[in-house]
Amino acid sequence: MKIDAISYPPRGLSRDEAARYVGVGSTLFEEMVADGRMPRPKHINSRTIWDRVALDIAFTSLPDKDSGLQELLELSKRDGGKRR
């Protein structure tokens, strides 16, 4: 195998690598793919590969931990705190 003088991250990742890349286990990653939070894989011959760039985009689109609370605060400000 020829040694590459330029070091770069792989573009295509296996399921386990993709799950690790976004910081979750394989089972949760599969759930996230099924419900659309993570992208579907590409197929190269018999290989199933996730695109690292697509994973970055999907990860950026995930809500922040406190976004639900922030959304409630914004709604409360709009209606003068009348929501229950």
Is residue 69 situated within a structural domain? yes
Number of domains in the chain: 1
Is residue 84 situated within a structural domain? no
Going from the C-alpha of 11 to that of each of 14, 28, 39, 54, the distances in angstroms are: 10, 21, 14, 10
Tell me how far apart the alpha carbons of residues 43 and 35 are, in angstroms, rounded to a whole number. Answer: 19
Evaluate if pTM is beyond 0.75.
no
Is residue 7 situated within a structural domain? no
Q: Which residue has the tokens 């709009």?
A: 78
Predicted confidence band of residue 3 (pLDDT cuts 50, 70, 90)? confident
Q: Which of 4-8, 27-31, 34-38, 69-73 has the lowest mean pLDDT?
A: 69-73
Is residue 3 situated within a structural domain? no
